[in-house]
Amino acid sequence: MGNLTARAVAAARHSGKSKRPERVGDGEGLYLQISPAGGKSWLFRYALRDRSREMGLGTADPDGRSGGVTLAEARDKAATARRLLRDGIDPLANRRAMEEAARAAEEAAQRTVRRTFQEVAEALLVERESGWSNPKHRAQWEATLKAHAFPHIGAAAVAEVSTDDVLDVLRPIWNLTPETASRVRGRIEAVLDFARARGWREGENPARWRGHLAEVLPAPQRVQRTQHHPSLPWREVPAFMAALRKREGVAAHALAFAILCAARTGEVRLARWREVDLDHAVWTVPAERMKARRRHRVPLSAEAVAVLREMEAMGRGPSSLIFPSTARSSAALSDMTISAVIRRMNEGEGLPPWCDGEGRPVVPHGFRSSFRDWAGETRPEGREVAEAALAHVVRDKVEAAYARSDLLDRRRGLMDAWGQWCSKRPAELVQLPSRSQGTG
């Protein structure tokens, strides 16, 4: 039995005679230590190999109400320390070793917590919060991952993302939008590097280009050279549309409408008023005029409706074609007539040519690629919505499920945003790249 009682522990006070802590012994090396400020703690004093040592046992708690160490608990701790000493073990060194082992076990447990790719990507975005050059850069970074990576690997454990997983993300877009695909690859690589730095995955990065994916996928610049339709970098579309709005004539209106709807010129040239529901802002293209031979509904943005209102004001011809030939009102415009609009814009005095990243003059069909690049870089709707807007046939088995619906409601938001982007004035645009830079 020791010398102290719970009441004595509660009543103990510092004498105030010195600025050093004072101690009251309980026996067998256990002491109650009292600081000049009145704080109380337990101390175990012992000798090992002719050296005197002290080990703190925690804050003293006389009645067991404050969450500290009671007298009984302090005696148990001291007894444990004495047993270690009898075995030749330093209790202080033993405690430190146990704390280190517990810390290592906790860190190991943290590493084994299942973190998904999406969770790690979001953590990386937060980590880089102060480093973004502008909010748009962050938004584009996030949009590309949401559109392309998350549908495939967002729910996958970041520690288990493999080369095959990365290829599942990249292959559907590598040949269609190589610049966007290249950015997606780089951003996946950054997320996986971040995960490795945090100890959440091990091994090589499966999204690495040099010496890895470069052996499987063609270089992005090689893919670009094989594209058939020269397309304007999407960042330059608003400037092009501003120039196009200054041109008069049916062909210029038809081209503007095709761009705003991301439609093929053949679908636009033969469009008739009966296909358009202006009250509900929908244009329904009949199956016989679609490449996939399926009826296609196009949600019309306010900008697209404005083009139709202007054509309506010009008068409806007897053929009810929306964009009739100026030479013969009963006939449709030709593809050459619409293409000639861009050719004349490129020949305009004092204007730079509207070209793709390789210096080739753009063509009307190329604006569908501009739309797809814009959607992939900036929008959260996902690739399947953009492909539905382009009326592309779905070949991927995973995406085939979306074919049961034409996603009209989701496409409406996408086309509204595209219309707003196309109508931006030059003064609203920030740091547009030069045409020689491509889409950057």
CATH number of the structural domain spanning residue 102: 3.30.160.390
Q: Based on the structure, what is the number of domains in the chain?
A: 3
Q: Is position 76 within any domain? A: yes
Model pLDDT, residue 129:
84
Same structural domain for residues 295 and 430? yes
C-alpha 273: how far from chain center: 41
Same structural domain for residues 89 and 156? no
Domain boundary among 174, 206, 225: 225
Q: Is position 152 within any domain? A: yes
Report how far residue 353's alpha carbon sits from residue 339's, in angstroms, rounded to the nearest whole number.
Answer: 14
Q: Is position 355 within any domain? A: yes
Helix/strand/coil for 231 = coil
**Closest Cα partner for 80 from 60, 100, 94?**
94
**Closest Cα partner for 330 from 312, 318, 348?**
318
CATH code of the domain in which 174 resides:
1.10.150.130
Which ranges constitute the DSSP H helices of 161-249?
A: 163-174, 178-197, 220-225, 237-245
Model pLDDT, residue 111:
61
Report how far residue 272's alpha carbon sits from residue 178's, in angstroms, rounded to the nearest whole number.
Answer: 36
DSSP state of 334: P
Report how far residue 86's alpha carbon sits from residue 287's, in angstroms, rounded to the nearest whole number.
Answer: 92
Q: Is position 378 within any domain? A: yes
Pairing status of strand 276-277 against strand 296-299:
unpaired
Same structural domain for residues 66 and 169? no
Q: Is position 85 within any domain? A: yes
Model pLDDT, residue 228:
58
CATH code of the domain in which 387 resides:
1.10.443.10
Model pLDDT, residue 317:
55
**Closest Cα partner for 435 from 226, 242, 237, 181?**
237
Same structural domain for residues 271 and 210? no
Model pLDDT, residue 54:
92
Alpha carbon distances (Å) from 3 to 7, 23, 25, 289: 12, 13, 7, 101
Residue 283 and residue 276 in contact, taking contact as beta carbons nearer than 8 Å: yes
Same structural domain for residues 288 and 358? yes
Give me the domain span that covers residue 58: 6-110
Same structural domain for residues 121 and 106? no
Residue 184 and residue 170 in contact, taking contact as beta carbons nearer than 8 Å: yes
Segments in the chain below pLDDT 70? 1, 108-112, 223-228, 316-319, 329-330, 348-352, 358, 393-405, 426-440
Same structural domain for residues 242 and 337? yes
Q: Is position 389 within any domain? A: yes
Domain boundary among 201, 225, 249: 225
Same structural domain for residues 386 and 252? yes
DSSP state of 31: E
Two structure tokens written together for 38: 């009145």
Q: Is pTM, for the whole model, over 0.75?
A: no
Same structural domain for residues 218 and 250? no
Model pLDDT, residue 179:
84
Same structural domain for residues 176 and 301? no
Two structure tokens written together for 165: 């997983």
Q: Is position 1 within any domain? A: no
Give phi and psi for 276, each to the nearest 5: -105, 130
Two structure tokens written together for 273: 């008023």
Same structural domain for residues 221 and 259? no
Same structural domain for residues 372 and 239? yes
Domain boundary among 110, 143, 167: 110
Q: Which helix (H) or strand (E) holds 23?
A: strand 22-27
